[in-house]
A and B are shown apart, each in its own frame.
Chain A
Amino acid sequence: MKKTPFELVERKGGVSEFHLIHNGLKVLIAPTAVAPVATLGVVYRVGSKDEVAGHTGATHLLEHLMFKGTRRFNRDKGTEIARILQRIGANFNATTWLDRTNYYATVAVEHLETPADIEADRMRGALVRDEDLDKERSVVLNELDRGENEPFGILLKGLFAHAFIEHPYHHPTIGWRGDVEAIQGDTLRRFYDTFYQPDNATVIVSGDIGEQPALDLVERFFGPVERGPGRRPQGTIREGQQRGERRFCEHRAGELGFLGCVWHIPEGLHPDLAPLGVAAQILSEGVVSRLNQRLVETNLCLGVHASAMESHHPGLFQVFATLAPGIEHADVESMILEEVQALGAAVPKPEELARAKVQRRTDLAFQRESPARLVSALTEGVAIGDWRVVVDEMAHVAAVQAEDVMRVCSQYLKPLHQTIGWFVPESDPESGR
């Protein structure tokens, strides 16, 4: 009898976790036969939080270079990654965020070997060439410029930079411009050798494929991948407690004002994230939500959105508003703060809690309808530290009581812990470029 190369870790909620014993690769299998397609994703537990001063943007730039070629898949051989994936009609891409970098492809299930082959090859076989870096650097600088066109992006960058002083969530995922302009190939190759390792990655397969065929596929392609030379740094940087309000103003050319308020909250696996998520829904999900009623239905704002960030390390509760023409930032800010403080002063109404729960239940049902969405959710679970948060989410939300919402809002959304940013549109500002 053939000895299995996998160790079963857990089955839960239709998802099975295995470890490939030989190289430490983690594997999640989530069959769903909604259509004859499947999604294969690889998530590396490396994001912009792993970058040091002077090398910001390295994770994202490396993600770009991962499409430039591996030993087996490259333009010189007529086998560039994008072309091979395109040829099978794949819907594919890659993204970089604070805690992770991920690559994914959704394909007709009979083509699933192709993304598995490519992802296994670039796990340790990416070329990361200097000549590719030279060209891709200007591509990324254009991407950075695109972000500078967007008031919301500017505001978000400022809020993180002010709310986090010590922790690397301080800098944007795309990196500071000067670092992107200067970073060298040697730095990226060291970064690659350090973090692109099978025991720092999770392969996720979901779709119209059974557990055993999916494991066979993973073993065939990822089994031969050997660990590389890098050793990952241990330890994390802890953000000190914020002991007073911080605020900033960004004055740029524009027509509309934007406003953002953030507060420090615990890491994504903390049990208080579920009531914080419900609080965000009560504040801004749908027409009947509190901030929509106060700001949007009254035409003081064009839009408002609240969210509880789920991240590997302690994150931020965020509220953003797009101001209607002629509306003062101070007025909108005071109304947002009133509504946030009210959530911490009294329990929400039963119908508000019930509404938040049914909305979440529906969202999760649609998540199961699509292999791509399920892989995306599991990817974020892996990034924050445990994929089980995805399958446990409904139970966690269902267990939230009105008192929990009030407690977490009064505990975390305090004036001393808040950071506020204004994007102020001006007709003739000094260009800050």
Chain B
Amino acid sequence: MTQELFDSGDRMSFAERVALHAFEGGGRLAVITNNHAPTVTIAGTLQGGTAVVTDGRFGVPSLTAAMLDRGTADFSRMSLARELEDHGLQLDVHRSGSAPASVFFSLQGLAEELPRMVDILASVLRRPIFPDDELQKVRERIMGVLQHERQDTSATAYAQLTRLIYPTGHPFRRREIDIRENEVNSITRHDLEQFHARCYGGRSLVCAVVGDVVDSNVEQLFSEALFDWGAPPQIMPEFPKVETGVSARVDTEIADRPNLDVFLGHAGRLQFGDGDYAAALLANSCLGQSTLISRLGVAIRDQAGLTYGINSDFSGTLQIPGPWVISLSVASENLERALVMCREVLDDFLRTGPDEAELNDERLAWAGGYQVGLATNVGVAMEVVKNLLAGQDLSRMDRFPREILEVSRDEVKRALKRHIDPERLAISVAGSIEG
């Protein structure tokens, strides 16, 4: 049965195999049966990320998510941990830097544990109690993580880049560590309770269950646990306007870090589901998807030997467009040469666009890679959630490989001009730049 699920031809399509359910509170549930392994994956999201804050306190959503498994009305921190670990379950709740409107969660285990998994999920999402002692522990832990980030060349360089690109108050701007430390210490249990009450609810809940399950059982379990879960209406706040035409560079010296992390980029505008989404992905792929065969990789790694890794990426296309970024690692003595070469490759690519042969390679890579990405339950679950979150029909999962094969070179060139602008490139470097 499941083997057919992924096949095309005269077999049933993805859209036909997915059972979709809507809850009274607004939540949506997709169920896909795959009984080739005795496992189940629950993956989902709701709108509880940094982009929904209205007072600039971006640490509140992060702390709320971090506290969900530290005590609920049904479980203490320890009893929840035992319930998970004694049954081999793995729970993860996290905020995503590239999708700042959302909080993502997943729970994986043996299929026989599904009833327990749904109970735990409902408890964690609906009934957290944010105990003061656990909040203090999480605060201290975050302070340690932020301390570590001061020496992390990649995190430092990327954060500096976002500060060159985005104004204060924008959800893609990563604030200075001092500011984040002060904020973490100021956040109270009341702040978290208020945020949870305002943002967490079935209204924005999107959930996929994939594995050795029966749809009707899954629907019943979720109905009992989450059917009536609603939430007040929520409006995404307006973000500060992003200045265009900004081109700047910042270097951050960090001692004893012989490898430099380098980011070049500008604010992006691409969103999942846009008419030119596939064309823009292809344009970026030809330029920098692969360290080994894309233009940047061929010139700067393969031919010049200057870097172990160089890629370009639209960093965030779900709900709020994030930056378009080139990232590379390089030794200090090769930094300036690598930057010059990046610019030369980019200028040349923008002048000519991809040739038909390299474009066709990327079309085939995306079409084939999409199928490979759906090879596991978690891969399928995440793709279903992504499509539902972006308001896409799940038939897109069947159409996408075909659609990307049909994107023309002219469409790619137009997308390239629209989405990538070398005149706006900001540059950020972190590491032992002075050698």
A370 to B81, CA, bound (A): 27
Are B372 and A91 in contact (CB-based, < 8 A)?
yes
A365 to B7, CA, bound (A): 24
Given known A-B contacts A149-B259, A324-B144, A287 and B77 have beta carbons under 8 A apart: yes
> Of residues B143, B372, B432, which shows the largest number of chain A Cβ atoms within 10 Å of its Cβ?
B372
State which residues 16-53 of B face A: CB under 8 Å.
34, 36-39
A144 to B130, CA, bound (A): 43
Point out the residue from A35, A255, A433 that lies within 8 Å of B147, measured CB to CB.
A255
Are B331 and A142 in contact (CB-based, < 8 A)?
yes
> Is A19 at the interface (CB under 8 A from chain B)?
no
> Is A141 at the interface (CB under 8 A from chain B)?
yes
Given known A-B contacts A142-B308, A324-B144, A33 and B3 have beta carbons under 8 A apart: yes
Partner-binding segment picked from B219-227, B341-349, B374-382? B374-382
A69 to B307, CA, bound (A): 19
Smallest distance from the beta carbon of B314 to chain A beta carbons, Å?
19
Partner-binding segment picked from B58-66, B120-128, B168-176, B298-306? B298-306
Smallest distance from the beta carbon of A249 to chain B beta carbons, Å?
15
> Is B198 at the interface (CB under 8 A from chain A)?
no
Closest to A358 in B: B88
A252 to B256, CA, bound (A): 7
Q: How large is the interface on B (under 10, 10 to 19, 20 to 34, 35 or more residues)?
A: 35 or more
> Is A106 at the interface (CB under 8 A from chain B)?
yes
Are B88 and A142 in contact (CB-based, < 8 A)?
no
Given known A-B contacts A142-B259, A369-B377, A86 and B365 have beta carbons under 8 A apart: yes
> Is A361 at the interface (CB under 8 A from chain B)?
yes
A88 to B368, CA, bound (A): 5
Are B85 and A145 in contact (CB-based, < 8 A)?
no
Point out the residue from B39, B81, B88 that lies within 8 Å of A369, measured CB to CB.
B39
Q: Which residues of A contact B259 (CB under 8 A)?
A: 142, 145-146, 148-149
State which residues 236-250 of A face B: CB under 8 Å.
none
Q: Which residues of A contact B137 (CB under 8 A)?
A: 297, 299
A-B pairs with CB below 8 Å: how many?
202
Smallest distance from the beta carbon of B432 to chain A beta carbons, Å?
8
Closest to A141 in B: B331
> Is B150 at the interface (CB under 8 A from chain A)?
yes
Q: Which residues of B contact A140 (CB under 8 A)?
A: 308
Are B329 and A146 in contact (CB-based, < 8 A)?
yes
> Is A77 at the interface (CB under 8 A from chain B)?
no
Smallest distance from the beta carbon of A196 to chain B beta carbons, Å?
20
Given known A-B contacts A32-B36, A89-B368, A89-B371, A146 and B81 have beta carbons under 8 A apart: no
> Is A432 at the interface (CB under 8 A from chain B)?
yes
Are B77 and A142 in contact (CB-based, < 8 A)?
no
> Is B108 at the interface (CB under 8 A from chain A)?
yes
> Is B427 at the interface (CB under 8 A from chain A)?
no
A299 to B135, CA, bound (A): 12
Are B151 and A89 in contact (CB-based, < 8 A)?
no
Partner-binding segment picked from A116-124, A131-139, A197-205? A131-139
Are B34 and A34 in contact (CB-based, < 8 A)?
yes
- Binding site secondary structure of chain A: mixed
Q: Which residues of A contact B329 (CB under 8 A)?
A: 142, 145-146
Are B364 and A89 in contact (CB-based, < 8 A)?
yes
Are A288 and B143 in contact (CB-based, < 8 A)?
no
A91 to B290, CA, bound (A): 11
Q: Which residues of A contact B84 (CB under 8 A)?
A: 286
Closest to B11 in A: A36
Please encode chain B, from 235 to 270, with 1 for each CB lying within 8 Å of some chain A CB and 0 for all others: 000000000000000000011111100000000000
Q: Which residues of B contact A299 (CB under 8 A)?
A: 137, 140-141, 144
State which residues 62-117 of B face A: CB under 8 Å.
77-78, 81-82, 84-90, 108-110
Closest to B70 in A: A287
Are B292 and A432 in contact (CB-based, < 8 A)?
no
Can you offer 15 A-B residue contacts whose CB atoms are under 8 A?
A34-B36, A86-B362, A89-B367, A134-B305, A138-B305, A138-B306, A142-B307, A143-B308, A148-B257, A253-B255, A256-B147, A302-B144, A361-B88, A363-B88, A431-B432
The 10 closest A-B pairs by CB, nearest first: A89-B368, A362-B88, A253-B255, A287-B81, A89-B369, A135-B305, A82-B292, A145-B259, A253-B256, A138-B305
Additional A-B contacts beyond A137-B305, A325-B147 (10; CB < 8 A) = A33-B36, A82-B293, A89-B372, A90-B369, A149-B259, A358-B86, A362-B109, A365-B39, A369-B39, A429-B255
- Identify the A interface with B (CB < 8 A): 32-37, 67, 80, 82-83, 86-91, 106-108, 111, 134-143, 145-146, 148-149, 208, 252-256, 285-288, 297, 299, 302, 322, 324-325, 351, 354-355, 358-359, 361-363, 365-366, 368-372, 425, 428-429, 431-433
